[in-house]
């Protein structure tokens, strides 16, 4: 059995603390869902592009600000928490605190 990517292991630990989160794995990729709505993806060499990325929902304009501030870095765990809160039902979203 192939050892799971350490970055996916770390992201899984972050995401699975959120209420009612599940993970779907597809090869070297994974999706994180609250109920049946996806709030984040782990993509490893998606379509052979050589890039490992975490994609998630953010408020309009946030991605532009983040890219301008740190163009070499696209991942921060806080983004996953915000994405979860944007997708989750209100009762579950209120259970997750996001640090500034």
Structural domains counted in the chain: 1
Q: Assess if residue 34 is contained within a domain.
A: yes
Task: Please report, rounded to a whole number, the percentage of residues in the chain having pLDDT higher than 90.
Answer: 44
**Residue-number span of the structural domain to which 88 is assigned:** 6-93
The dihedral formed by the CA atoms of 17, 84, 62 and 98, expressed in degrees to the nearest 10? -50
Nearest 5°: phi and psi at 45? 60, 45
Q: Is residue 1 part of a domain?
A: no
What average pLDDT does the segment 76-87 reach?
78
Q: What percent of the chain has pLDDT over 70?
A: 91
Is residue 98 assigned to a domain? no
Can you give the pLDDT at residue 75?
Answer: 47
* pTM of structure: 0.70
At residue 74, the pLDDT reads 53
User: Does any domain span residue 99?
Assistant: no
**Domain annotation covers residue 10:** yes
* Residue 77 domain-assigned (yes or no): yes
pLDDT digits (tens, 9 = 90+) for 35-77: 999 999 999 987 777 888 888 888 877 877 887 888 776 545 5
């Amino acid at each position: 059995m192939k050892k799971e990517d350490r970055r996916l292991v770390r992201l899984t630990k972050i995401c699975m603390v959120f209420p009612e989160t599940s993970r779907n794995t597809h090869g070297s990729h994974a999706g994180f869902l609250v109920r049946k709505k996806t709030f984040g993806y782990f993509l490893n060499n998606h379509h052979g592009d050589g890039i490992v990325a975490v994609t998630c929902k953010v408020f309009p304009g946030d991605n532009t600000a983040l890219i301008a501030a740190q163009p070499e870095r696209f991942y921060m765990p806080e983004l996953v928490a915000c994405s979860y809160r944007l997708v989750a039902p209100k009762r579950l979203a209120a259970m997750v605190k996001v640090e500034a």
